[in-house]
């Protein structure tokens, strides 16, 4: 499904298409800056680095801990074997989602750096061409009826395939340049039997993110009727 190699204390996972090219340098944003190949950044909990290499435009993201634990350990995780790392699990899940034909970025490579009982991680995914998050759009204009339905149908498609997203929010739902909807950031996500309890929990989290961002932004083109329309379209596509 994907390739795995070990270089010193680093374990590298890579998509077969890119295995011959990937090196440790790929996970170093300073390397790409020196090559003058950084084409953008995006701030979140940490910076995501966009780089362009030959015909590939990709996103490099480091794994950082959140919450109170993150203030102490920042980017350190307890190592209990490669398959138990968040890095391996996210990369493997994204490979499965690609094989299922779902709209996610192609996973390019990932690195797990092990030092004794701890590890740190990085992941590289293909950038979505012309990507705009749902939040980006709402800051400038309302979503159209078609866009609301596209979001709803995409989420339902993921749920029908048993895809649980640990942090479904309006920053993780993107439109590409053609208007196709993609979902990103599958850290702590998993495949599980479709069931209404976790599917509705995903939707509740998404609804909270609309309200949360509406409180944060002075201008956001969103109203309760939009959610009703989105949720109705979602339920009409859901199989369970």
Helix and strand element counts for the chain (H, E): 7, 13
Q: Helical H runs in 139-178?
A: 145-160
d(CA 102, CA 56): 20
Q: Is 157 a catalytic residue?
A: no
Q: How far is CA 12 from CA 26, 36, 137, in A?
A: 11, 24, 36
Q: Are 85 and 121 in contact (CB under 8 A)?
A: yes
Q: How many CA atoms lie within 13 A of 172 on its CB side?
A: 17
Q: Are 94 and 186 in contact (CB under 8 A)?
A: yes
Active-site residue, selected from the candidate residues 75, 167, 176, 226? 167
d(CA 134, CA 169): 9
Which of 171, 160, 167, 183 minimizes the C-alpha distance to 133?
171
Q: Which residues are catalytic?
A: 167
């Amino acid at each position: 499904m994907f390739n795995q190699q070990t270089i010193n204390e680093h374990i590298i996972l890579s998509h077969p298409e890119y295995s011959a090219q990937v090196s440790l340098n790929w996970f170093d944003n300073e390397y790409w800056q020196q090559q003058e190949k950084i084409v953008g950044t995006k701030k979140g909990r940490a910076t995501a680095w966009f780089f362009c290499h030959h015909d590939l435009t990709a996103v490099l993201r480091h794994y950082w801990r959140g919450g109170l634990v993150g203030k102490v350990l920042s980017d350190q995780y307890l190592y209990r074997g490669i398959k138990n790392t968040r890095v391996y699990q996210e990369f493997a899940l994204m490979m499965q989602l690609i094989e299922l034909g779902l709209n996610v970025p192609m996973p390019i490579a990932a690195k797990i750096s092990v030092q004794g009982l701890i590890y740190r991680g990085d992941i590289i995914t293909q950038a979505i061409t012309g990507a705009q998050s749902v939040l980006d759009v709402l800051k400038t204009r309302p979503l159209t009826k078609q866009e609301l339905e596209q979001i709803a149908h995409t989420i339902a498609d993921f749920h029908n395939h048993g895809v649980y997203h640990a942090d479904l929010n309006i920053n993780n739902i993107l439109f590409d340049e053609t208007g196709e909807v993609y979902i990103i950031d599958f850290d702590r996500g998993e495949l599980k039997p479709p069931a209404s309890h976790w599917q509705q929990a995903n939707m509740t989290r998404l609804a909270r993110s609309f309200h949360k961002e509406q409180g944060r932004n002075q201008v956001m083109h969103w109203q309760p009727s939009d959610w009703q329309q989105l949720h109705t379209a979602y339920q009409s596509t859901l199989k369970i």
